[in-house]
Amino acid sequence: MFQTKMTEMLGVRYPIVGGTMMHISTAEFVAAISNAGGLGILASAIYPSREAFGEALDQLLDLTDRPFAVNLNLFPMMRPIDNNDYLDVLLEKGVRIVETSGHSAPEALCARFKEAGLTWMHKCVGVRYALKVQDMGADMVTVVGYENGGATGKLDIGTLVLVPRVVESLRIPVIGGGGVSDGRGLVALLALGAQGVIMGTRLLATREAPLHEALKQALVQASELDTMLVMRSIGATHRVWTNAAAKKIAELEANQAGLPEILNIATGEKAKKMYREGDLDVGIISCGQGVGMAHDIPTVKELFDRIMSEAQEVAKSLAAN
């Protein structure tokens, strides 16, 4: 019932993509997502060298024989990286699917994608950006509405409007997200014309997610009201879980603090400390409004099977009415 252009093109069982999450989308977690029937995406930017990235790919290839993708990050970073190096490595390892995301389309890389025969997915925030990468040769586009966790872009458009607007504007398949946490959300996005869904926040509360148990429990207890937007003043708006660190960033922005002061709190090192040690206020974590629909901590497979079973029941119910 839920075979789509996305599942056909990517060779996955379910039309579900596990969103790329910095310091979380490791080889082990990506393998869990792919083995559960979705498309896991490895975050290349969390690896400090091409050697470390190559080792992560070797580990991932040992953990799964299912399709997965690699994300090449185009956002500005404290530690600049040359994505051509990472592209070299993923091609050497035989990776067949690449995702790009960031402020600008990867014009310097797309020719290499096409030459290598890669399936190229690009994640963006609006129609004009999606049209540009379609013209550049992207095979699929991912868009997420304003409810999503992490980078929200500048347009502030909700999922119910953004997804159908992109679908009606493009010739290539669209993956949609922003608030998708269960089977109801999956059916809704397919009804809007998407060929699959992307989710990140709901996957944080799974057994395999590389997060401290205290943080997972806090997210399960959170509601849809427990997120906030930060870093808009520096042109990098993110929706994050509301904690002391996020509130401190908002306070700094209200007082017109500079980039170094804000990044001192938003740094990835402090986020990793929170993930590893369970100190819930030391850093920030990207978190969408869909956190209010995460009520337990299943395995990824249990979550995906539940989502697909619920989606089937919802579709049957709608057809019967």
- Report the CATH number that the domain containing residue 165 is assigned in CATH: 3.20.20.70
Helix (H) or strand (E) holding 275: helix 268-277
Lowest mean pLDDT among 46-50, 89-93, 220-224, 300-304: 46-50
Residue 20 lies in a domain: yes
66 near 34, Cβ under 8 Å?
A: yes
Residue 43 lies in a domain: yes
| Sign of the alpha-carbon torsion through 200, 125, 103, 135 | positive
Do 149 and 75 lie in a common domain? yes
Task: Tell me the pTM.
Answer: 0.95
> Mean pLDDT, to the nearest integer, of 121-139?
94
Residue 220 lies in a domain: no
150 near 20, Cβ under 8 Å?
A: no
Residue 219 lies in a domain: no
Q: For 55, left (φ over 0), alpha (ψ -120 to 50), or beta?
A: alpha
Structural domain tally of the chain? 2
Do 32 and 90 lie in a common domain? yes
**Residue 100 above 70 pLDDT?**
yes
Do 159 and 95 lie in a common domain? yes
Residue 100 lies in a domain: yes
Do 197 and 232 lie in a common domain? no
pLDDT tier for residue 78 given thresholds of 50, 70 and 90: low
- Scanning the structure block, which residue is given the tokens 């896991």? 40
Do 264 and 313 lie in a common domain? no
Do 280 and 301 lie in a common domain? no
pLDDT tier for residue 268 given thresholds of 50, 70 and 90: confident
Residue 218 lies in a domain: no
> Mean pLDDT, to the nearest integer, of 265-277?
93
- Scanning the structure block, which residue is given the tokens 């994050």? 240
φ, ψ for residue 119, nearest 5 deg: -85, 120
Do 154 and 264 lie in a common domain? no
Do 106 and 150 lie in a common domain? yes
Do 76 and 161 lie in a common domain? yes
Spell 72-105 as b/e; 16+ CB within 10 A means b: bbbeeeeeebebeebbebbbeeebbbbbbbbeeb
Do 68 and 170 lie in a common domain? yes
Number of H helices, E strands in the chain: 14, 11
Do 255 and 279 lie in a common domain? yes
Residue 215 lies in a domain: no
Do 267 and 176 lie in a common domain? no
The string of pLDDT tens digits covering residues 195-246 is 999 999 999 999 999 999 999 999 999 999 999 999 999 988 999 999 999 9
What is the extent of the structural domain holding 174? 5-209+296-320
Residue 222 lies in a domain: no
Task: Tell me what pLDDT residue 1 has.
Answer: 67
